[in-house]
Structure 1
């Protein structure tokens, strides 16, 4: 390495001091490190901001599940498109919480198997309020 003594830099961590040809600079303390020690928590950077503690006091709203015996709660409301009742992520599908409106609805596959659909017919399923259909609430099936 005597030919090119000015290439690369040594890692700023005293225990490492590895010669690195692609050194990285810490964004907080501006010291050069190798790729293994550039993270602020790895080299114990005293100028890095400390992570804020999560404030989960009574002001945080949680949304419970309507299924009997379920104690799960979500930070975002999850509702069933058929019965409009609040659910947790585990019970959000119609089959998971015995949704009466969704249980009565036959799927196009079941209708085709029963001979209720003609070949070439397009089936449109709408969820939610039919008076205000949204693009993401519509599922189209082309029967072939």
Structure 2
């Protein structure tokens, strides 16, 4: 033998293979070959210290402690029956929250479809100004003007569009 001190024998009693790159088990601190380095491969008596898995409730995502010797599925089932804080009818986020502003329309949309002229929120069918009878900028005097002259006349003011809209409805 040229290198008598090189490598170590596998600590598995049935193997004892000389391994030049042995792997040390982090639980029992013994050296093993590539076939027996896993906890299951060498039946590690200290595997419970390192190989700990905590089940999580599928409903409330809470970790559920499991004592040694208990079946995790049974413990999770008991948690779901007794201690689970999840209630199916509660905590549901509404998806369709944007209601159409057109009179008589009760549709709700997932996304806000605001009109660029009157700033109202409308459904897909009423999103265009002609579909919801948009009153903003459609007076008879302004229809004959071009868009550039209308844009030149409109001066930005410090009043929000909501305040302007409320003033129009009050008059």
TM over 0.5: no
**TM-score for both structures, normalised by structure 2:** 0.36
TM-score, normalisation: structure 1: 0.42
Of Structure 1 and Structure 2, the greater strand share is in: 1
Structure with higher Rg: it is 2
Which is richer in helix?
2
Higher relative contact order (CA 8 A, sep 6+): 1
